[in-house]
Amino acid sequence: MAHEVNTVFIVEDDPSVRDALGLLLGLHGLTVALFADAESFLAARRPDWYGCLLIDIRMPGMNGLALQKHLLESGCWLPVIVMTGHGDVDSARQAFRAQAVDFVEKPIDHDRLMRAIEEAFARQRSQRDNRDRNAESADLLAALTPREAEVMEQVVAGQHNRDIARKLGISPRTVEVHKARLLAKLRVSSIADLVRLSMDGRKAGRG
């Protein structure tokens, strides 16, 4: 099943709480997907899901904090809001250490929950924009010739034309030609932009 923008994935073992949250968020125009436990969510999860997660801490099987940690370590980019009826400082610390958007206690303050969801969606949009930019940078970098890539690597490292020429066994003038061509191919007009694009491309490669 595909989920697009503004989907809140609720993982909560108490059916009455789960249904009440689904009704509340539906009244606010949000799409919801309900799961009774962490295992059923993980079995259904797809990498193209977009939105945020609302996770209860105390559940049979894998608890909410363990699910949050698992998702973070597996590279899941869905922002997480943790909720609990038994809040404590240590649990809150663990949740925020694993990059939780918020830690809300039951009975849930609806206004606070909606603010947290809006923040989670904003975080998701920012992450998606960054990934799109990184992927675009990686595509541009892939179009460089091997020599242009060598010149770019030296430029990004802060080397001057004469030093680059000496290291690559070419003339400073040839370095200038390669530099002009790679800047044009990468659609940047300054060395600062070239450094940023290089870093974005590396992030895409790691992802």
Sequence ranges of the domains in the chain: 7-132, 143-206
| C-alpha to C-alpha distance for 100 and 137, rounded to whole angstroms | 29
Residues in a beta bridge with 32? 8
User: Who wins on pLDDT, 141 or 1?
Assistant: 141
| C-alpha to C-alpha distance for 35 and 105, rounded to whole angstroms | 19
Percent of the chain with pLDDT over 90: 54
pTM, to two decimals: 0.66
> What number is the average pLDDT over the span 105-125?
92
* CATH fit for domain 143-206, picks 1.10.760.10, 3.40.50.300, 1.10.10.10, 1.10.287.70: 1.10.10.10
| CATH topology (fold) of 7-132 | Rossmann fold (3.40.50)
Give the tens place of pLDDT for each residue, 148-167: 999 999 998 999 999 999 99
Residue 2, pLDDT score: 47
Contact 49, 23 (CB under 8 A): no
Give the tens place of pLDDT for each residue, 48-92: 888 999 999 999 999 999 999 999 888 888 999 999 887 677 888
